[in-house]
Structure 1
């Protein structure tokens, strides 16, 4: 029994199917995968879960630290004034004549003043956390070598770098905005029961909204700086060390040797972005003390602060992108 040979048709042999694993991932799928990746680390999830409790504790401390006992506050002011007057009588002409009102410390939680201070303090902390989040998101995959698999799954490195960076910034900015939205009602409750909401008009709420938006944008950009620094150094440890040295050591050196640049250090930029004084309709002549009056007249505009932040962000991000796309990952 013989086997008949298959007739030749003259056609070329069929090509094997293409390897779909070498194709770039769809952008939506890539973004969803990267979002899960940057939110999956246990420290990140624990920090997000603990944030509401921290905000409640902060608001509770503000609640317990204020009261509406104006009579006791005036008695303390009068006692302080009498002590000051007795000292002034022993040294006539050596001290300035003051009134009891100068020694009065309003015990109430004044929403139109204290809320900006509290919001600035909380968002400053969130900005530091955003910097650490960006460093962690950009540096952890290098130490674990996961970045090799990511680059293999998404061969277009520019898109991978940009997608990861934008997601880091978006998560940080969203967290900052959610923090403010959660905190402000708690402060409003504190002002209602332990203070006053006098002066909380439409302009106040407009300025408060502007500060919240500024803070969210600022935190997102700070996280992007951390991400770029970690991607540039390709090491979480090294990038953390650089960031810590800058935040702690550079500020002191700047204050001591280049005081003119203090406003453009991280702390100065943070204050300028979250400073409400230049936006409020405050009478510039209604101030007590040289420092207070200068603070009401002067200050770094938020536009200058964001420009200074861009001087940090753009070079770091450009260098990180160049190294990620033009050099060997392994």
Structure 2
């Protein structure tokens, strides 16, 4: 059996891998069930009901406004007059245009509008799964002494680590592609029976496919980072500690400090915004401490756009630095 095949089998057979992946699948299933249960397909019956509710609310508001205006007129010259406007004619009454029927329609799943956010949800969840499983896969080998024993039989450090990394990333890619295809198919059915797929042209499907490809890249990079950090620290806790520290200390701490210091575009230092820019092609950060006055739009803040090219470059740099450091350390450090 080749080293790659052996490492793939080792990864798939691990109970942690199976249970953690199963947990992620159950979370995704819960999201899909909730979306199916909370949405409805809009038809003539729902439209008629919405119009009836809108008209009923309009009539109730009109009656209340008319009664209040009558009380205002009746209170003239009495002690209660101070509780009403001096000119009762200033009291307006609602019009039926203020109660649009579309506001009363039940929630419906518009595939084109809502599914992109669900693609981001899938990518974010699988990124966490990839990071944790990748860290555990190599971290457990180091902490248990399995890596040292393996290198006794295969004294080729780089080859062994690269085989582990390749087996993990190929398996993670396969899982992501499989779940992405199932995710798309499930919500296509949700839209068919609980919403609409209107507007899904060839261009829209192409854009969606590219977004899912960016999601796949995000998952692969997250998995490689977890693997690399655990390999550098030779323990799963190394990767998890870095992740927790990055979120709590760097993101919350630095974000709060920069906001208090009124640093321009302080939000641009937050990692989630870069991830959103990568998934949705761009994210516009606004500096509300600035004001560019316009005669038509009033006060407008300065803006800074994080593009998907910038976010992709950041992901590539992180991948190269962490994986490169893992390969360098296994080659240079003693195996103990």
Q: TM-score range by the shorter chain?
A: 0.7 to 0.9
**Distance across 1 between alignment mates of 2:153 and 2:279:** 41
- Unpaired segments ≥5 residues, structure 2: 70-83, 260-264, 284-296
Give the counterpart of 2:320 among 304, 309, 314: 314
- Superposed counterparts of 1:1-330, under 5 Å: 29-49=2-22, 51-67=24-40, 68=42, 69-73=46-50, 79=57, 99-101=98-100, 104=103, 107-258=107-258, 260=265, 262-263=267-268, 265-275=270-280, 299-330=305-336
Contact 2:232 2:329 (8 Å CA) reproduced: yes
- How far 1:177 sits from its partner (Å)? 1.8
> Between Structure 1 and Structure 2, which shows a larger proportion of strand residues?
2
- Unpaired segments ≥5 residues, structure 1: 1-27, 279-289
Contact 1:135 1:227 (8 Å CA) reproduced: yes
**Distance across 2 between alignment mates of 1:120 and 1:263:** 19
Per the alignment, residue 285 of structure 1 pairs with none
**Distance across 2 between alignment mates of 1:110 and 1:196:** 5
- How far 1:102 sits from its partner (Å)? 11
Once structures 1 and 2 are overlaid, which stretch shifts more, 261-270 or 151-160?
A: 261-270
- How far 1:214 sits from its partner (Å)? 1.0
SS at match of 1:300: strand
Mark the CA change 1:302 to 1:124 in structure 2 (over 3 Å): closer, same or farther.
same
Q: What's the RMSD between the two structures over aligned residues?
A: 3.4
Per the alignment, residue 72 of structure 2 pairs with none
**Distance across 1 between alignment mates of 2:304 and 2:202:** 24
Mark the CA change 1:105 to 1:176 in structure 2 (over 3 Å): closer, same or farther.
farther
**Distance across 2 between alignment mates of 1:37 and 1:257:** 45
Q: Deviations over 1:182-206 (max 9, x none)?
A: 0111111111111111101111110
**Distance across 1 between alignment mates of 2:267 and 2:39:** 33
Aligned length, in residue pairs: 282
**Distance across 1 between alignment mates of 2:159 and 2:266:** 35
